[in-house]
Amino acid sequence: MATARFIYDNPYKCSDVYYATKFLAPDPLVYFEFRGKKYIAVDVLEYGRAKKEAKVDKVLLAQNYTKNIEIRKGFVIEVMDVIFKKFGIKTLEVHPNFPFALAEQFAKLKYRVVSGKSPFFPERSQKNTYEKNAIIESQKATFKMIGLVEKILIESKIRGNRIYHKNKLLTSEMLKEAVLIEALKRDYMMTTGLIISCGNHTVDPHDDGEGFILPHKPIIVDIFPKSQKTNYCGDATRTFCKGKAPLALQKLYSTVKKAQEIGLSLIKAGINGRTIHGSITKYFDSLGYNTGKIKGAYQGFIHGTGHGLGLEVHDGEPTIGALDCVLKVGHVVSVEPGLYYRNIGGVRIEDIVYVTKTGCEILGHYPKKFEIL
């Protein structure tokens, strides 16, 4: 039976569309594979640019098949029914995120619609040299932004229970504004925000932070920008403390730092990410840093050790966590253990690595300095 692999989505929202076509457009477009060839169907306003930029075998103009009907305005059924019939396509293997309503409509037109596997393009998880270098560049930019935050903290002064930068009370919002401006200067965008949290905010890993930056408290800086040039992401986390950290917080930081070192030492092709995560968990447990519900709140090591990185910050495989995932050469993955306790605060340290046969290569370096006195 004639089968086409089929995606209908906005390449800014669906990285698989961009991965397959290397073409960006602000509206949804059609991508399909049939008999070993790649096609996209676009409206007239994108046709000229797509012909020059899209890395596919053929660009189809929607208006050549149905006049005055535009794919970008939701008329994909009308256009693609004509195209698929012309190609003799009867079965559609659709992207896992394909709209259910559209699948039903194609089924009513007697197409057999089946869901494609996730990931739709498994080869995305193993990065080639271009992709690796693009991520390295994004990591360099990420560390420049983290460096800017550290510079502001170094320049700042503690007065009582507040921190001042150039005689202004230092806040999470001020630091984020500085990072966002720096990102724009470097041609990066924060598609999913950024995290600069302090004190009680640090015990929730995805609390992006708000309000005053406080002395002698943990400050988590987690920045994950996307290059507007290559579309590849960076991601790194450092935890700082402006002033002298309490002993319990110092120990928490040292423990997380050692845990990351354990994780980095274990990474190589062929190892199961679950094994790495388990080793870190056992290390935390051995020192009494247990994970679970404590006084009504989940505390401890409450997330996985790492996630894939590429065209998305969370790029699917590989993962280093509670589920099985065997690492392969070319995988790019974060290593970011963390501990979070209501009575101490949160600490997370994150770097990105490229998996090799015998170990891993850290993509970009930045000092792991905790206290800023």
229, two tokens: 């040039």
- Give the CA distances from residue 280 to residues 118, 184, 188, 249, 318, in Å, rounded to whole numbers and listed in that order: 28, 36, 33, 19, 17
Do 111 and 131 fall into the same domain?
no
260 and 286 housed in the same domain: yes
Whether residue 193 is found in the same domain as residue 226: yes
User: Does residue 284 surpass a pLDDT of 70?
Assistant: yes
- Number of structural domains (the chain) is 2
- pLDDT, one tens digit per residue, over 60-80 is 999 999 888 889 888 899 999
**The CATH number of the domain where 71 resides is what?**
3.40.350.10
Average pLDDT over residues 290-297: 92
Which pair of tokens denotes residue 187? Answer: 């041609």
> The domain containing residue 161 runs over which residues?
126-372
Distances from the Cα of 144 to the Cα of 22, 179, 259, angstroms: 27, 9, 25
At residue 73, the pLDDT reads 86
**CATH assignment of the domain containing 241:** 3.90.230.10
> Is residue 64 located within the same domain as residue 139?
no
Which pLDDT belongs to residue 205? 96
Does the pTM surpass 0.75? The reply is: yes
pLDDT over threshold 80, residue 1: no
Residue where a domain stops, chosen among 81, 99, 120 = 120
